[in-house]
């Protein structure tokens, strides 16, 4: 196996179109590559680091996220999908790695710093939240991942993981852990803008189109999309730049020449927002319908989804267990091993 991929999502909500173009599509491509093994982890423990008082939300979203995976075509026959909390070896690795990381190093992690600010923890930052980058290093190294496809915001986690890998191998004088590389999404797809045009699509901004959204819901969201606030009369010239409808047409409408013509017409004046939005609605409905239908199909048998997750978790545990054994060997703490 030349490439081992490990990536994951916190189960704190359903997945949206931004997840799809930014990461899920890429995972589907990866699972079909030769010599590539793909692990996808539902990071329920990481989600609990700031949801300790609301485990129900995390538990519920494990199946929602799994359904989103299946709906877009992540195939459990090719990809190992598993639940973080079901792999106790990850917690054990996390514990040993904690001794290789200083508190001041954790303080310098910019993503965690930002999150601490956003989440308004004040003086009560959960210790588990503060140290989750170390837990993430355990996730990645347990599978000897060579490549970790994630968003830009995860760069600090990968840097920290690489430091831990180097430290571990140096300290225990053995090349046990594998140095992982980050794989960022293609630039034009990295940050799908939300329907409000204010920032990237995100649950917290409430500007998303979800993979499971109904036809009416999708339509309502497209009709609300941010266009050009100064394009009041149809005859007025309109702005293409910053216009969310055009951003989406650029990504999802395969009739590139027609889209170029529409842009010209819009800039010149004489093309109304409604007409554009109706076109985008047709495009997006065609794009999302098969995903939604597959999702509904899988959702009919949640027990089957759980069986899939259990099988994936059993497989993941074997891999993590072998790594943990090597780690303990290197540290010299496999006391009872013959």
Least Å distance between CB 64 and ligand TRP?
Answer: 15
DSSP 3-state assignment of 255?
coil
19 is in an annotated binding site: yes
Please identify, using beta-carbon distances, which residue of 147 and 295 lies nearer to ligand TRP: 147
Q: Is 111 exposed, middle or buried (0-12, 13-18, 19+ CB in 10 A)?
A: middle
18 is in an annotated binding site: yes
Please identify, using beta-carbon distances, which residue of 46 and 281 lies nearer to ligand TRP: 46
Least Å distance between CB 331 and ligand TRP?
Answer: 23
201 is in an annotated binding site: yes
Please identify, using beta-carbon distances, which residue of 140 and 164 lies nearer to ligand TRP: 140
Least Å distance between CB 144 and ligand TRP?
Answer: 13
Cβ neighbours of residue 100 closer than 8 Å, sequence gap 6 or more: 164, 167, 168, 171
Please identify, using beta-carbon distances, which residue of 64 and 253 lies nearer to ligand TRP: 64
214 is in an annotated binding site: no
Please identify, using beta-carbon distances, which residue of 14 and 292 lies nearer to ligand TRP: 14
DSSP 3-state assignment of 282?
helix
Which residue in the block uniquely carries the two structure tokens 């003086």? Answer: 123
10 is in an annotated binding site: yes
Q: For strands 3-9 and 36-42, give the pairing.
A: parallel
Please identify, using beta-carbon distances, which residue of 43 and 225 lies nearer to ligand TRP: 43
Least Å distance between CB 8 and ligand TRP?
Answer: 4
Cβ neighbours of residue 97 closer than 8 Å, sequence gap 6 or more: 134, 137, 138, 164, 168
DSSP 3-state assignment of 150?
coil
Report how far residue 130's alpha carbon sits from residue 119's, in angstroms, rounded to the nearest whole number: 12
151 is in an annotated binding site: yes
11 is in an annotated binding site: yes
Report how far residue 98's alpha carbon sits from residue 93's, in angstroms, rounded to the nearest whole number: 9
Q: In the structure, how many helices (H) and strands (E) does the chain have?
A: 15, 5
DSSP 3-state assignment of 182?
strand
Least Å distance between CB 7 and ligand TRP?
Answer: 4
Please identify, using beta-carbon distances, which residue of 49 and 281 lies nearer to ligand TRP: 49
139 is in an annotated binding site: yes
In the chain, what is the straight-line distance between the N-terminal and C-terminal CA atoms, in Å?
A: 30
Q: Where do contacts with ligand TRP occur on this chain (CB under 6 A)?
A: 6-10, 41, 43, 46, 136, 139-140, 148, 150, 154
| 254-273 core/surface letters (b: 16 or more CB in 10 A; e: else) | eeeeebeebbeebeeeebbb
Least Å distance between CB 158 and ligand TRP?
Answer: 8
Please identify, using beta-carbon distances, which residue of 114 and 217 lies nearer to ligand TRP: 114
159 is in an annotated binding site: no
203 is in an annotated binding site: yes
How large is the angle between the packed helices 55-72 and 273-299, nearest 10 degrees?
100
Least Å distance between CB 43 and ligand TRP?
Answer: 4
DSSP 3-state assignment of 235?
coil
Report how far residue 50's alpha carbon sits from residue 126's, in angstroms, rounded to the nearest whole number: 7
* Full strand arrangement of the beta sheet holding 36-42: 79-83, 36-42, 3-9, 147-149, 181-183
Least Å distance between CB 57 and ligand TRP?
Answer: 15
- Which residues participate in the annotated binding site for L-tryptophan? 139
- Which residues participate in the annotated binding site for ATP? 10-12, 18-19, 151-153, 192, 200-204
- Which residues participate in the annotated binding site? 10-12, 18-19, 139, 151-153, 192, 200-204
């Amino acid at each position: 196996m030349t490439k081992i991929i490990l990536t994951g999502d916190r189960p704190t909500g359903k997945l949206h179109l931004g997840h799809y173009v930014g990461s899920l599509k890429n995972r589907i491509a990866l699972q079909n590559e030769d010599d590539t093994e793909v692990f996808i982890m539902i990071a329920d423990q990481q989600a609990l680091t700031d949801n300790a008082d609301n485990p129900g939300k995390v538990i519920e979203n494990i199946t929602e996220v799994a359904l989103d995976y299946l709906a877009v075509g992540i195939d459990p026959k090719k990809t190992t999908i598993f639940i973080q909390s079901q792999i106790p070896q990850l917690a054990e690795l996390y514990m040993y790695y904690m001794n290789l990381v200083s508190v001041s190093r954790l303080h310098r992690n910019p993503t965690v710093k930002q999150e601490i600010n956003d989440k308004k923890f004040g003086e009560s930052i959960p210790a588990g939240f503060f140290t989750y980058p170390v837990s993430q290093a355990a996730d990645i190294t347990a599978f000897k991942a060579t490549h970790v496809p994630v968003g830009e915001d995860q760069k600090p986690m990968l840097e920290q993981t690489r430091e831990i890998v180097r430290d571990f191998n140096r300290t225990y004088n053995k090349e046990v852990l594998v140095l992982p590389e980050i794989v960022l999404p293609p630039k034009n797809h990295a940050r799908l803008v939300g329907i409000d045009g204010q920032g990237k699509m995100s649950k917290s901004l409430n500007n998303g189109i979800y993979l499971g959204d109904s036809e009416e819901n999708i339509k309502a969201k497209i009709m609300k999309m941010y266009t050009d606030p100064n394009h009041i009369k149809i005859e007025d010239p309109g702005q293409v730049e910053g216009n969310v409808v055009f951003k989406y047409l650029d990504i999802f409408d395969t009739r590139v020449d027609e889209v170029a013509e529409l842009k010209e017409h819009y800039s010149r004046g004489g093309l109304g927002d409604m007409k554009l939005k109706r076109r985008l609605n047709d495009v997006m409905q065609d794009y999302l319908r098969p995903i939604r239908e597959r999702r509904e199909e899988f959702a009919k048998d949640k027990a089957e989804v759980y069986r899939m997750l259990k099988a994936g978790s059993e497989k993941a545990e074997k891999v993590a267990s072998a790594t943990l054994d090597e780690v303990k060997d290197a540290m010299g703490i496999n006391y009872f091993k013959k």
